Amino acid sequence: MKGDSKRNQPSHTQSRFLLLSVSLFAILLAYPFWSRTALGLATFDVMFWSVMLASIYAISRRHWSFFVGLLLVFPALASDIALYFFQGKMLLFSSCLLDLVFLVFVTGVVIGYVLRPEPVGMDKILGAISAYLLIGLAWALVYGALELSYPGSFRLAQGLAAETESAYSVPHWADLDNFIYFSLVTLSTLGYGDIVAVTRVARSWSAVEAIVGQLYLTILLARLIGLQILQRRKG
């Protein structure tokens, strides 16, 4: 009876990952519609910060990850806010890196939870989805930082280049929205070819992302199926 009552209790972890996955889908679906005006970038920031806060909430099930996440999120938020008062590629580059470090940490914590030898439920499924989207978002920051360091690392198709304003006319990494799209199609190995990595470093990072995307899906699927089989045998 006690075991049944525990199984019937609501899963707080599930609600945490639900919030994170919803915020990630929201920002990925909305990014084509924001403008490079101050209002558009502020709207993006609010959505991105909601992903950060949802990430902190998702990893708060363990005290150590919660506190480390807080230590990483504060400087990231501060650098994002500073872009509203100060301009410069160095500050933009710092903002990219600080946001990237935070996303990499959160992604690692979420993947660690998903791969733990525990029963497979909706919380693990939502965690797996969230980790996959976090990988895509984090790699977009990698490409943004790379383009900042080595301008011309990527070549856009003529139509995209014509629609894109001067890449750094607004000192904000959200202005590099094409890299979110490029990251997602690279992660899923679609490779439409409308954005092309030109330099050796850009090509290398693009290839690594494609490999990571395939390995993630393969290893994750095998792990979840194995846990499900083990769970049924024990049941």
Q: Report residue 135's pLDDT band, with 50, 70 and 90 as the boundaries.
A: very high
Please give the angle made by the CA atoms of 83, 96 and 23, to the nearest 5 degrees.
90
Q: Is residue 4 part of a domain?
A: no
Summary mean pLDDT of the chain: 82
- In our burial notation (b when 16+ CB lie closer than 10 A, e otherwise), range 144-154 reads bbbbbeeeebb
Mean pLDDT comparison of 8-17, 23-32, 129-138, highest-scoring range: 129-138
Residue 195 backbone dihedrals phi, psi, to 5 degrees: -125, 125
Q: Name the residue with higher pLDDT: 202 or 86.
A: 202
pLDDT tens, position by position, 172-217: 565 677 888 899 999 998 878 788 899 999 999 999 999 999 999 8
* pLDDT over threshold 50, residue 117: yes
Percent over 90 (pLDDT), the chain? 41
Q: Is residue 42 part of a domain?
A: yes
Q: Is residue 121 part of a domain?
A: yes
Mean pLDDT comparison of 8-22, 109-123, 200-214, highest-scoring range: 200-214
**Mean pLDDT to the nearest integer, 88-96:** 86
Percent over 70 (pLDDT), the chain? 82
pLDDT value for 158: 58
Q: Report residue 230's pLDDT band, with 50, 70 and 90 as the boundaries.
A: confident
Number of domains in the chain: 1
* pLDDT over threshold 50, residue 80: yes
Q: Name the residue with higher pLDDT: 110 or 226.
A: 110
**Mean pLDDT to the nearest integer, 42-60:** 91
Please give the residue range of the domain that contains residue 16.
12-234
Q: Is residue 6 part of a domain?
A: no
Cβ neighbours around 126 below 10 Å, total? 23
Q: Is residue 3 part of a domain?
A: no
Q: Is residue 57 part of a domain?
A: yes
Q: Which two tokens stand for residue 233?
A: 């045998």
Q: Report residue 5's pLDDT band, with 50, 70 and 90 as the boundaries.
A: very low
Q: Is residue 2 part of a domain?
A: no
Residue of 162, 104, 114 whose CA lies nearest to 138: 104
